[in-house]
Structure 1
Amino acid sequence: MGTIDGLPPLREVIAAHDLVAKKQLGQNFLLDLNLTAKIARCAGDLAAFDVLEVGPGPGGLTRGLLAEGARHVVAVEKDARALPALAEIAAACPGRLTVLHGDALGMDLGSHLTPPVKVVANLPYNVGTELLIRWLTPAVWPPFWQSLTLMFQKEVAERIVAKPRTEAYGRLALLAQWRCETRIVMTLPPEAFTPAPKVHSAVVHLVALPAPRYAADEKLLMRITAMAFNQRRKMLRSSLKGLGPDIEARLLAAGIPPTARAEEIGLEAFCALARGFG
């Protein structure tokens, strides 16, 4: 697929609408349409899907999604300054782009989409992790989306895909990998953005599993992992002692050495421990 005919370069769009990126909104714009198209392709075939995009800004990725054949794009933008630029894209693609003005954290986004759905977004850095956690913890699983293809700071991306016994491994890795296949599909240097952030960025692709990888009560699993990683340097028999006086026996029953530390324990073992409290 190619570009959308008749639309000006993004630098012209930004100048015409005075879209200077605002730090307080976590904005860093991608202006290279080859890059935005590449990110769109990382999400796979879009032709049969509604696509949710959060934080489109001047619409670089929005254009990529539409050019790569998305059935319909629902773009949620908090910054009213970007709405005229997005309206120009909507006019160039009649019936294929819906723009919602508001804060994605306060909206029922699923109600605006027709399944099947993919989420593809260069997320604002200041809300990216919170949005991811919300999408990973719906009231009912499987969720409204089939996959998430999301831009994060590289450090956050590495936390999502991290394995035990690595510095990045923690609760975010466990939550994401419990319910999804996860992998980093693309990395970008600071100079790819305007303005250039101080960090590298990476795109993570998460595919929802039909059911969690291992059986466990979500709230209990989250409580256990929170206690374990909040004191990640302590032995689990110490960091989890608040769960009960018999914690050492429960750890052993789950196949976990009581002297182990959180960063040494894999997802399957944490789920086994959670089931032991069921």
Structure 2
Amino acid sequence: MSASRKLASFRLPPLPTVGELIKLYNLRAEKQLSQNFLLDLRLTDKIVRQAGCLRDAHVCEVGPGPGGLTRSILNAGATDLLVVEKDTRFIPGLKLLSEAAPGRLRIVHGDILTYRMDRGFPSNISKPWEGDPPNLHIIGNLPFSVSTPLIIKWLEDIANRTGPFMHGRTRLTLTFQKEVAERLTASTGSKQRSRLSVMAQYLCTVRNCFTIPGRAFVPKPEIDVGVVHFTPLVQPKIQQPFKLVERVVRNIFQFRRKHCHKGVEKLFPEACRIELTQEMMQKADVDPILRPTELTIPHIKALADAYAHLCSREPSLNGYEHREELRMKHLTRQKNAPMDTLMDRPSSAPPSPLQPC
């Protein structure tokens, strides 16, 4: 059978449109779940094309909702599509699609943040990490509320080669708020350069594919949406544990507009802060007055390596968190405050909680 005829055999039979399914099952988008439906199949087809060739592929779709993107994935020739949907209202419509594509669509009612995706696909699809990516893809029109924690979770899985990345360098094609998409792909010196930029780019090749205008969604969000493609690197650009890199990057970028040494200082207890900050900056050979947005991946690598060296020499640093130190100081001040001060405090205005740095 020719490739075109084989692909045509994957096309779904005539079905109610996505819009008709929404009306049929009274599927209103839930604002608290940050749901926005993409009904234009030309756009869902365009998203799927960014993933590459899906003929005979295994795919996990995150949050299929009413199934617009699901149809495009099936029409593109995926032979095994696993959809993970948290909202029970969408299950009947997905079952209708499953019946139209017998043996090709599996439905999991669950939360993608806790679902064990490594158990969702057969082991024989795995490829060596150093080789080509497996014929396994993760695709999703992500709810805004989970997009950032979810990509951070998957980046950690990439670093540890766990979860869906037990099968190899599984590729991802995902939607984000336009601003988040720009952060993920921002280059050094860009105003959008952030913690997310560094964490994604030291582990993956990240490509901002195209932007979908907000008016294409129902209901229309206040912002546009970016489609981003990730391919894990054979070798990460920083050879340190994910948690250590994340701690260094998080602390540096908490003071985006200040010199980078201000964030580095917060990696260390107050008693030895200045001394260890100077040692770390000198060992890394990084100019302490660079802004966080000016730091390249090699800069971050040098800082992470220097920090790892200090942690190996002083193991107590591994468990240190500046915010926890601030919290304990706050509790101590409350405990030692004179009783008359506490009595004078208006009951209608309780002390505001300690704000994070």
TM-score range, shorter chain: over 0.9
What is the aligned counterpart of 2:98 among 73, 90, 94? 90
SS of equivalent residue, structure 1 residue 252 = helix
With a CA cutoff of 8 Å and minimum separation of 6, indicate the structure with the bigger relative contact order.
Answer: 1
Q: Deviations over 1:169-201 (max 9, x none)?
A: 111111110110001112110111111111000
Q: 1:123-142 alignment to 2 at 5 Å?
A: 123-138=142-157, 140-141=160-161
1:103: which partner in 2?
Answer: 111
Q: Name which of structure 1's ranges 154-163 and 18-27 shifts more when overlaid on structure 2.
A: 18-27
Q: Which has the higher helix share?
A: 2
AA aligned opposite 2:144: Y
Q: Deviations over 1:32-90 (max 9, x none)?
A: 11111111111001124211111101100000001001121110111111111000110
Q: Name which of structure 1's ranges 164-173 and 59-68 shifts more when overlaid on structure 2.
A: 164-173
* Equivalent-residue separation in structure 2 for 1:38 and 1:7 (angstroms): 20
The 8 Å contact of residues 216 and 272 in structure 1, kept in 2 or not, is answered as no
1:118 matched to 2:118? The reply is no
2:303: which partner in 1?
Answer: 273
Q: Name which of structure 1's ranges 267-276 and 152-161 shifts more when overlaid on structure 2.
A: 267-276
What is the aligned counterpart of 1:32 among 40, 47, 63? 40
Q: Name which of structure 1's ranges 149-158 and 138-147 shifts more when overlaid on structure 2.
A: 138-147
Question: CA offset at residue 219 of structure 1?
Answer: 2.0
SS of equivalent residue, structure 1 residue 127 = helix
The 8 Å contact of residues 252 and 261 in structure 2, kept in 1 or not, is answered as no
* Equivalent-residue separation in structure 1 for 2:281 and 2:56 (angstroms): 46
1:233 matched to 2:263? The reply is no
2:61: which partner in 1?
Answer: 53
Question: CA offset at residue 128 of structure 1?
Answer: 0.9
The 8 Å contact of residues 237 and 301 in structure 2, kept in 1 or not, is answered as no
Q: 1:6-21 alignment to 2 at 5 Å?
A: 6-21=14-29
What is the aligned counterpart of 2:241 among 187, 193, 217? 217
2:342: which partner in 1?
Answer: none
Question: CA offset at residue 216 of structure 1?
Answer: 2.6
AA aligned opposite 1:109: M
1:247 matched to 2:277? The reply is yes
Q: Deviations over 1:199-244 (max 9, x none)?
A: 0001000001122123233222111111111112222223212434
SS of equivalent residue, structure 1 residue 103 = coil
AA aligned opposite 1:165: G
AA aligned opposite 2:47: I
* Identical columns (%): 39
- Pairwise CA RMSD of aligned residues? 1.6
* Equivalent-residue separation in structure 2 for 1:263 and 1:136 (angstroms): 20
* Equivalent-residue separation in structure 2 for 1:235 and 1:169 (angstroms): 15
Q: 1:176-187 alignment to 2 at 5 Å?
A: 176-187=200-211
* Equivalent-residue separation in structure 2 for 1:126 and 1:238 (angstroms): 30
User: Could you state the TM-score of these two structures normalised by the residue count of structure 2?
Assistant: 0.74
1:67 matched to 2:91? The reply is no
Question: CA offset at residue 7 of structure 1?
Answer: 1.1
AA aligned opposite 2:292: A
Question: CA offset at residue 252 of structure 1?
Answer: 3.1
1:262 matched to 2:292? The reply is yes
- Aligned pair count reads 278
1:146 matched to 2:170? The reply is yes
AA aligned opposite 2:194: G
Q: Which runs of 5+ in 2 are unaligned?
A: 1-6, 126-133, 310-357
Q: Deviations over 1:110-140 (max 9, x none)?
A: 2112333210100111111111111110272
Question: CA offset at residue 261 of structure 1?
Answer: 1.9
* Equivalent-residue separation in structure 1 for 2:37 and 2:233 (angstroms): 31
User: Which protein shows a greater Rg?
Assistant: 2
